[in-house]
Amino acid sequence: MAKAHCQRRVQVHSRRLALTPLPSHSASPIGVFDSGVGGLSVLRALLAELPDEQVVYVADSGHAPYGERDDAYVIERARAITAHLLTHHHIKALVVACNTATAAAIHLLREQHPQLPIVGIEPALKPAVGLSTTGVIGVMATRSTLRSDKFQRLLASLEGQARFVVQPCAGLALAIEQFDTIKIEAACAEYTGAMGSFGTKTGQIDTLVLGCTHYPFAESHLRAGTGAAVRYLEGGAPVARQTRRLLQAGQAICAGRATGSQQVVFYSTGNPLTLESAAKRWLGLEQSVLPLAV
């Protein structure tokens, strides 16, 4: 059987993206991390966009939820996981599949690792402005994300273009992490109820931005409060497209992988069974999760 052939060049010239040479071969994996299982929504988009790439996914469930932590704690975790992925897996790119970690730490990770392409995620406010017809947009996220300077700058940049109804959702990510249906239903009902009227009439929220990677997995419960007509936006697909662009610019796209190789290797700092169950339920992947102490 022919082995996958992945080739890269030493120097890259691009008008749009100028990258220093990547620290690893194009056959190296992409690293992805989240505070827990929520980043699987981003992983799902990555696997669809880049089907030949190998991925190492770290769920930092032993230190979740990030959304209820302060910035210093999140920064320390982000640095530790990034160092682990570089040292032990020689990743060629990093995806920070967590809104809270992106807001708190991505600028520091880029300073610390200037040769590593790093892609973060942020609430999809800009796309929402272009899609909303009523001009009223709901945003659900963790308190840490909403109070971050990064989010506040994003919100300020769109002043006058729409009215944003911003809702912190304490406890929702953790309930999703724990597959606690009763708490998920209660939280979704509470937070959608607090945001006001949803629908397509004047003054109603017609577009809802899911500003946490966990929240797409609660969509069926959120729909009970918003109705079917409301458009939902999440950040997985834009992250996947940006990851592809950076890898292409760095001549680091893998053209294929060896027959029989495992596309995703999962690690968890918490209970591995939680991530195994989530990957099977939401991605249809049945494979073991390795414990990680970092």
Active site residues: 98, 212
Distance (Å, whole) CA 213 – CA 215: 6
**Using only C-alpha atoms, what is the Rg of the chain?**
19
- The string of DSSP codes covering 110-129 is HHH-TTS-EE-----HHHHH
Q: How many CA atoms lie within 13 A of 276 on its CB side?
A: 10
Distance (Å, whole) CA 294 – CA 50: 28
Q: Which helix (H) or strand (E) holds 273?
A: helix 272-278
Backbone φ and ψ of 211, nearest 5°: -90, 25
Distance (Å, whole) CA 82 – CA 104: 14
Let me know: does 161 contact 253? Beta carbons within 8 Å: no
Sign of the C-alpha dihedral computed for residues 249, 251, 257 and 263 taken in this order:
negative
Distance (Å, whole) CA 289 – CA 229: 38
Structure tokens at 78: 């982000």
Let me know: does 67 contact 212? Beta carbons within 8 Å: yes
Instruction: Provide CB contacts within 8 A for 76, sequence distance 6+.
Output: none
Distance (Å, whole) CA 124 – CA 277: 28
Let me know: does 236 contact 195? Beta carbons within 8 Å: no
